[in-house]
């Protein structure tokens, strides 16, 4: 399995497919496996060289227990270290929720490394993470139940099993601090941008606000989906993504 080390933290990633490089970064308490399970890999693998990363604290990557290890700059460096190791100058990026937060950090720190930016269920205006802290405080079984309840039971049992397998101390450290507001200037980001969120996601108004700050950004609303469920509906987003990048015509 491919690994690399950034700041003494081992990061696990996978590659598959051929074409323009696309980094996939999952959400909180998920892993690389989520992209396969939800159908993203099947739909995107025929168009892209996929580079799928287990975020620190998740999957097969190392799981530090110190909150300092989860500073956004370290998470961004993990992505940059992966693409640098692969010899890639610029990449497309798709991140969901926490993965989208990492994408925002990447766009802020190294916008010249992006061919495009696709973000789901995230905005740059800061976020109170105390609900997550409370959610993981009593262990992964309780957290899995909360996720299941929030999604009205409409997520696979295998996803819940994967959530339960997480390291609770690592996840607690990952959300020990609130997300600060990130200042762009977003109106100077010069790459194709696509935002998406479920129509029942409480973050949708902020995502809509953010869409107006990005030059010519497209916004896709995933009907009848909350924050968790939107990730499981790639069929609603992928055609728009391919059209945006003109991959449906065989080029970027």
Q: At a CB cut-off of 8 Å and minimum separation 6, what does 189 contact?
A: 107, 111, 114, 117, 214, 215
Fold entry, domain 3-126+180-249? Rossmann fold (3.40.50)
Per-residue pLDDT, 7: 87
pLDDT in the model for residue 202: 96
What is the rounded distance in angstroms from the CA atom of residue 4 to the CA atom of residue 62?
Answer: 11
pLDDT at 155: 82
Q: What are the pLDDT digits (tens) for 203-247?
A: 999 999 999 999 889 999 999 999 999 999 999 999 999 999 875
What is the distance between the alpha carbons of residues 13 and 32, in angstroms, rounded to a whole number?
A: 8
Q: What is the spatial distance between Cα 119 and Cα 99, in angstroms, rounded to a whole number? A: 8
pLDDT at position 249 is 45
Distance of CA 148 to the CA centre of its chain: 19
Distance CA 13, CA 76 (A): 14
Domain boundaries, the chain: 3-126+180-249
39, exposed or middle or buried, with CB in 10 Å at 0-12, 13-18, 19+? middle
- Percentage of the chain with pLDDT > 70? 97
- Residue 181: burial class (beta carbons within 10 Å; 0-12, 13-18, 19+): exposed
Strands 3-6 and 9-16: antiparallel
Condensed to tens digits (0 to 9), the pLDDT of residues 14-34 reads 999 999 999 999 999 999 999
Residue where the block lists tokens 């606000």: 209
Tell me the pTM. 0.95
Average pLDDT over residues 149-172: 90
pLDDT for res 250: 41
- Answer whether 252's CB lies under 8 Å from 244's CB: no
């Amino acid at each position: 399995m491919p690994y690399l080390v950034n700041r003494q933290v081992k990061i696990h990633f996978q590659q598959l497919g051929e074409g323009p490089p696309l980094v996939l970064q999952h959400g909180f308490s998920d892993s690389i496996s989520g992209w396969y399970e939800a159908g993203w890999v099947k739909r995107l693998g025929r168009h892209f060289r996929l580079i799928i990363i287990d975020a620190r604290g998740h999957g097969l990557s190392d799981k530090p227990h110190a909150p300092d290890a989860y500073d956004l700059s370290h998470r961004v460096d993990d992505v940059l270290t992966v693409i640098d190791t692969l010899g890639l100058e610029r990449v497309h990026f798709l991140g969901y929720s926490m993965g989208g937060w990492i994408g925002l950090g990447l766009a802020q720190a190294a916008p010249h490394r992006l061919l495009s930016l696709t973000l789901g269920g995230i905005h740059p205006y800061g976020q109170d993470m105390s609900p997550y802290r409370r959610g993981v405080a009593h262990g992964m079984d309780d957290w899995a139940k909360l996720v299941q309840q929030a999604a009205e039971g409409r997520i696979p049992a295998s996803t819940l099993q994967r959530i339960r397998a997480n390291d609770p101390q690592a996840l607690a450290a990952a959300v020990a601090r609130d997300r600060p507001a990130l200042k762009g200037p977003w109106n100077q980001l010069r790459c194709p941008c696509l935002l998406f969120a479920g129509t029942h996601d409480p973050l949708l108004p902020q995502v809509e606000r953010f869409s107006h700050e990005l030059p010519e950004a497209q916004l896709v609303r995933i009907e009848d989906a909350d924050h968790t469920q939107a990730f499981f509906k790639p069929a609603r987003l992928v055609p728009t993504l391919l059209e945006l990048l003109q991959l449906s015509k065989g080029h970027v």
